[in-house]
Amino acid sequence: MRVSAADQNEARQVEVLSDVGRLFSEKVSGKNVDDRAQLKELLAYVRDGDKVRVKSPDRLARSTRDLLDLIEQFQAKGVALEFVDNPALNTDTPQGEFMLTILAAVAQLERATIRERQAEGIAIAKRNGVYERALKLTPEQIAHARERIEADVPKAKIARDLGVSRQTLYAALSGTGKYAEVKA
């Protein structure tokens, strides 16, 4: 069970999934499976002959590639997928796999379209001078990150600890992009 944000209500999913042996629930975006602790736990938990029940494919993954990779991982373990909202998508039939691939592509297109619209809106706002994102790292955090790097702490760990991407950390450390004028 997954909802994208902490303020979203998962009640409709709980209602249809309540009769499972173990419920894995998370409040996180589905755009990146690597950031989903409960999904990783589920993958480690399931065994041959198990069935994973999900309300709909977009609750499992948002990108076609991620969804297909997950399906492959489940199948390699002998685990079936059941989509409660649309049994025709269940992975135990060739037709279900075909339909699932098509619907996953549609979900990915929808997400890409949303991002495109968002980018257009941001570009218009920037052009009008009303859009400015705050820096994610303060000069103090950047200085502390440099100290940790000197102490041989991996940059990936530092970025995780700071709650930023490695790309943001690299930009802050090199003083590029928005960090070009930051003194740390």
Burial 107-117 (b: 16+ CB within 10 A, else e): bbeebeeeeee
**In the 8-state DSSP scheme, what is residue 2?**
E
State the residue for tokens 């990915």: 108
* Residues forming beta bridges with residue 51, ordered by sequence position: 80
Pick the catalytic residue from 4, 25, 56, 174.
Answer: 4
- CA separation for the pair 90, 84 (Å, rounded): 9
Distance CA 148, CA 80 (A): 45
Q: Contact, 162 vs 137, CB < 8 A?
A: yes
CB 40 within 8 A of CB 48: no
Identity at 125, one-letter amino acid code: A
Amino acid, single-letter form, for residue 106: V
Annotated active-site residue 4? The verdict is yes
Tally Cβ neighbours within 10 Å of residue 156. Answer: 11
State the catalytic residues.
Answer: 4
